[in-house]
Structure 1
Amino acid sequence: MKILLLSAYDADSHRYWHQNLIRQFPEHEWTVQTLPARYFAWRIRGNSLSWAFGEQRPLLEQPYDLLIATSMTDLSALKGMIPNLASIPSVVYFHENQFAYPATDKAHKSVEPQILNIYTAACADRILFNTTYNRDSFFNGARALLKKLPDHVPAKLISQLEERASILPVPLETELFKPVQAHLKALTEWRDNNHKALRIVWAARWEYDKGPAHLLAILEQLEEQNTDYRLCLMGQSFRHSPKEFKLIGERFKHKLVQFGYAESREEYLQWLRTADIFLSTALHEFQGLSVLEAVACGCTPVLPAREVYPALFPEQYLYRCSEDISREATAACAKLTETTAEHETCEPPDVSYISWQNQRAAYDAVLKSTTAKN
């Protein structure tokens, strides 16, 4: 099968997904086109222009058996600009949707990204979401938006899209579930020299939607309580990352064993394998790959009871959320204390169902059934 895969905003999680997808199905002939995950407003609106009238056009004009695109792809415009794409069976994969992002004063308020999500879904044969939370927030948001439009709104559009929708998570690499000994010197020292300290990992993009203000408040309370802990703080930083990260690096230097991006995938996983707890403060999360990876590596999750987390994990791993950051930090610290007390007898939840070993058959069925319908 010849498959064209388009990732219009190729963020780390998107790349993780399509690279492993290709590894799982080497029997197919893959052509992959990506665009960098930057300049969001331009990328989400201009990707069809970049591809249709750029150097990549000859590749997109080739005959394919299947087209797979991420939800950032302006698929409706692309099919119009490159007509042969319109006849190819298509699957759209939603890693996220534009209806469920937390509001920020810095973001340009526009419904265009949401409309583009609807257009792309409308011209796909199959619509895949990584979680039920992602699917439900997309359809609920789309319904609410369409109700605001003045006239000639197609009454059955959402129900038609729902009929084409399925849940198919981003699978984890099967290797994550295999026990591996830590070999890196720094990590071995963290494990051996700080065996009495609570070893906490926080790993996410260094952006406002991952809750840096909440993380700072939690660390301040842990200090006030004289909690014995060490923090491994990882993730991709940016030129304009929130100021809280700089403050954390300055105020909690004595607690930090890692501050910033891990030098390699191996090192990142080794930090997870030698930690006790994975802490999240995310204000938005559609699947939480970093959390799932950490749990697969043996970490016990401590997560806010919002977004996708309540659908993925039992209540015992969740702390109460509040609009008051200080109150939420108090709840998180209490959950950390509770989890620490139970750590020796409480095993991390089982997330093996989301491994490629257990998800490959479902992906294979989607690929085959989509092409069979056309």
Structure 2
Amino acid sequence: MSVLLLEAFNGGSHKQLLDLLKESVEDCVSFTLPAKKWHWRARTSALYFMQAVPASSLYRVLFTSSVLNLAELVALRPDLGHLKKVLYFHENQLVYPVRKSQERDFQYGYNQILSCLVADVVVFNSSFNMESFLMSISTFMKTMPDHRPKDLERLIRPKCHVLHFPIRFPDVTRFLPAHKRLRHPVRCDDIHAPAAKSHVQTSSPREHDKDPQLFFQTLLKLKDRQLSFEVSVLGETFADVPDIFSEAKEQLVDHIQHWGFMPSKEDYLKVLCQADVVVSTAKHEFFGVAMLEAVHCGCYPLCPKALVYPEIFPATYLYSTPEQLCKKLQEFCKRPQLARQHVVQVSLSSFSWDSLGDHFRSLLKADSGMMFTDKHIS
């Protein structure tokens, strides 16, 4: 157990990555906390791991996400401070959107900066994530009233690298309708396909940063123009759901194919395979696993020309304004074959575990540096 894996918020993409590492990296042990009450995990997980992780002379590498305050942990457990400490950023709190700047809790971003200062290697899931973090440090620290530290970016940047989040793309051939199979190695006779569908990816409907308002307003415009479409809205149901969801569900009732949480990953993939278009209206995104999974299932992606999306998707799949999004969806409703016959020009293999796995294994070797040569890795 030379590799110590710690995850203070073991859910979603955090859990996906940890599970991949546990399955694929030899000689590792993991300790986790459930993906609940994120704010408390960020505040107190170091104290939990101080007690939960047994002392051992076998540890050589410590890998954790940036939810954990690594500085607190190594202060509480000096024995862990001697390890090669790898910090992985799924997101960063310096630019994570809040409704009002006054609502931003300084402590979360401050914790991440401290963690970077004590880490040996700092890894981000995208260049957007890395640069938005590093370029915001100076401005972020200016919120301190006085005695502000200087040159923190200069100290942290040399440790930083980009290593895209690795995805295991499952075989979905059996779920694909005939018109999609024609674009895959396994072919079959063409059959009549259903009406064009839009599919929204929203992992947490209560989050304002996914901008469900824009998505549903766009669909209601399509409805008002009497265009033919079906929509699937996938995601967990939370207590604090924006009113737009119930309003849109009522107004779009004749267009809804699926609505709400899918009970299994297989069911989720089946819905994606039946969709023709996947739409993101996110106000924030540091990587976007769900969009890439939808592309793997044969969906035409439409994403904002902002955030991480230009890093992953060619310009043809990006929109700059709500009007452009509406115009594109209107075009697909009128001519669904434009989406169905299109072969998406996104190199999914670049984001697969098969391509990235060796880089993560190298990262978790005690005596190795970051020797990345792939164009998506730096």
State the TM-score, normalizing by the size of structure 2. Answer: 0.86
Q: Once the two structures are superposed, what CA deviation does each residue of 1:38-95 show, in whole Å capped at 9, x if it has no partner? A: 3233221111123324xx143x666412110100101100111122111111100000
* Distance of aligned partners of 1:61 and 1:254 in 2 relative to their CA distance in 1, 3 Å threshold: farther
Question: Is the 1:202–1:280 contact (alpha carbons within 8 Å) kept by the matching residues of 2?
Answer: yes
Residue number in structure 2 paired with 1:334: 327
Matched, 1:172 2:167: yes
* CA spacing shift, 1:367–1:51, aligned 2, 3 Å: closer
Code of the residue aligned with 2:227 in structure 1: it is T
Q: 1:128 pairs with 115, 123, 126, which one?
A: 123
**1:156-197 CA distances to partner (integer Å, 9 max, x unpaired)?**
43122111111101111043xx4511299xxxxxxx999341
Give the aligned residue type for 2:27. Answer: E
The 5 A counterparts of 1:354-373 are 354-368=351-365, 370-372=366-368
The alpha-carbon distance between structure 1 residues 242 and 356, as it changes in their structure 2 partners (threshold 3 A), is same
- 1:306 positional shift: 1.8
Paired amino acid for 1:74: N
Aligned residue number for residue 349 of structure 1: 345
Residue 283 to residue 33, structure 1, CA distance change in 2 (3 Å): same
Please tell me whether the aligned partners of residues 133 and 308 of structure 1 are also in contact (alpha carbons under 8 angstroms).
yes
How far apart, in 2, do the equivalents of 1:22 and 1:371 lie? 20
User: For residue 37 of structure 1, what is the amino acid of its counterpart?
Assistant: A
Distance 1:42 1:218 in 2: 36
| 1:90 has 2:85 as partner | yes
Superposition pairs of residues 222-301 of structure 1, within 5 angstroms: 222-301=222-301
Deviation at 1:108, TM superposition (A): 3.5
User: Whole-Å Cα distance in 1 between the matches of residues 11 and 214 of structure 2?
Assistant: 24
Q: Give the distance between the partners of 2:63 and 2:154, measured in 1 at CA.
A: 22
Distance 1:287 1:104 in 2: 21
In the TM superposition, what are the counterparts of 1:120-159 in structure 2 within 5 Å? Answer: 120-149=115-144, 153-159=148-154
Mind listing any 5+ residue stretches in structure 2 that lack a counterpart? 178-189, 370-378
Distance 1:263 1:183 in 2: 19
Deviations 1:335-361 (A, max 9, x none): 223456422442112222111111112
Q: Which of the residues 42, 62, 70 maps onto 1:67?
A: 62
Q: Distance in 2 between matches of 1:62 and 1:243?
A: 54
Separation of aligned partners in 2, 1:181 and 1:15? 26
Say whether the 8 Å CA contact 2:63–2:364 is kept in structure 1: no
Normalization by structure 1: what TM-score? 0.87
CA deviation vs aligned residue, 1:96-119 (integer Å, no higher than 9, x gap) = 000122221498432111100101
CA distance in 2, matches of 1:234, 1:106: 30
Describe the SS at the equivalent of 1:33.
strand
Give the equivalent residue in structure 1 for 2:181: none
Contact 2:211 2:283 in 1 (8 A): yes
2:302 is the counterpart of 1:307: no
- Paired residue secondary structure (1:335): helix
Quote the Cα distance in structure 1 between the aligned partners of 2:224 and 2:256.
17
Cα distance between partner residues in 2 of 1:294 and 1:354: 13
* Separation in 2, partners of 1:201, 1:107: 34
Q: Which residue number corresponds to residue 373 of structure 2?
A: none
Amino acid at match of 1:169: H
Of 247-256 and 89-98, more deviation after overlay is shown by: 247-256
Distance in 2 of aligned mates of 1:174 and 1:168? 17
Identity %: 29
The aligned residue for residue 37 of structure 1 is 35
- Greater mean deviation of Cα atoms: 73-82 or 62-71: 62-71
3-state SS of paired residue (1:135): helix
One-letter amino acid matched to 2:118: C
Matched to 1:227, the amino acid is L
Are residues 1:77 and 2:72 paired?
Answer: yes
Do the aligned partners of residues 254 and 101 (structure 1) sit closer, same or farther apart at CA in structure 2, a change above 3 Å counting? same
CA deviations on 1:14-38 (whole Å, 9 max, x unpaired) are 111111222222xx12222222333
Q: Is 1:203 aligned with 2:189?
A: no
Q: Secondary structure of 2:298's partner? A: coil
